[in-house]
Amino acid sequence: MLFIGICGASGSGKSTLSDELCQAVGVAKSIVINQDSYYYDHLELSLEERTKLNYDEPFIFDHDLLYEDIAKLLRGEPITKKGYDFTQHRRCDSYETIAPGDILILEGIHSFHDEKLRELMYLKLYINVEPDICLLRRVNRDIKERRRSIDSITTQYLSTVKPMYDRYIRNYIEHADVIVTRGGKNARIVDILAGYLRNALSGVQNETWE
């Protein structure tokens, strides 16, 4: 199994790139894990209190559980599917089982934060997109999928999203093996990466990437 990390700002196209890669590689089974599924579950807080948490800082995620699940999959062991309800700000894990596959992709704004996790990655991709484009995509997503108001999106962006991007996320580019521009629908880079991964899966060493 090849483990690939995809990092970048909120709205940069990480989920899109993950899906495009899985389709382009065309292997029997690809697994995409969203880091957002590993937010801590703050049972002790009310909904109002949970809405005020900083969901863009790295320490809001359960990195130990994420590492444990990734390590299990890489050892050939199944895991249970994790999930998160953004309308209630609560974890919504299930008993559904995720079995190991050929390609494993982790995508998230802080997917490069944990050094132990980075060391497990075969390939690290960073999506570099202009912040204003990311903001427009985030507004569209949060209104349609997470039922947020413009006021709440604006408040969150100014108070946590942009400060955490400036402090942490923009610097993860230093850990990347490949920098992807123009978002997740960059067909040329998807084709190149898919070819490289197919070769790697078949045991062919491509020295041009070393």
Q: Can you list the residues of the chain whose pLDDT is less than 70?
A: 204-210
63-118 per-position pLDDT tens digit: 999 999 999 999 999 999 999 998 899 999 999 999 999 999 999 999 999 999 99
CATH number at residue 90: 3.40.50.300
Contacts of 40 (CB under 8 A, 6+ apart): 60, 61, 62, 91
Q: How many domains does the chain have?
A: 1
pLDDT at position 205 is: 39
pLDDT at position 208 is: 37
Helix/strand/coil for 199? helix
pLDDT at position 151 is: 81
Cβ distance 24 to 105 under 8 Å? no
Continuous segment of H or E residues that includes residue 83: none
Contacts of 129 (CB under 8 A, 6+ apart): 8, 9, 11, 12, 13, 181, 182, 183
**Strand runs labelled E in 113-204:** 123-128, 178-181
**Strand runs labelled E in 94-177:** 97-98, 103-108, 123-128
Q: What residues make up the domain containing 87?
A: 2-209
- The torsion region of residue 26 among left (phi > 0), alpha (psi -120 to 50) and beta comes to left
pLDDT at position 204 is: 40
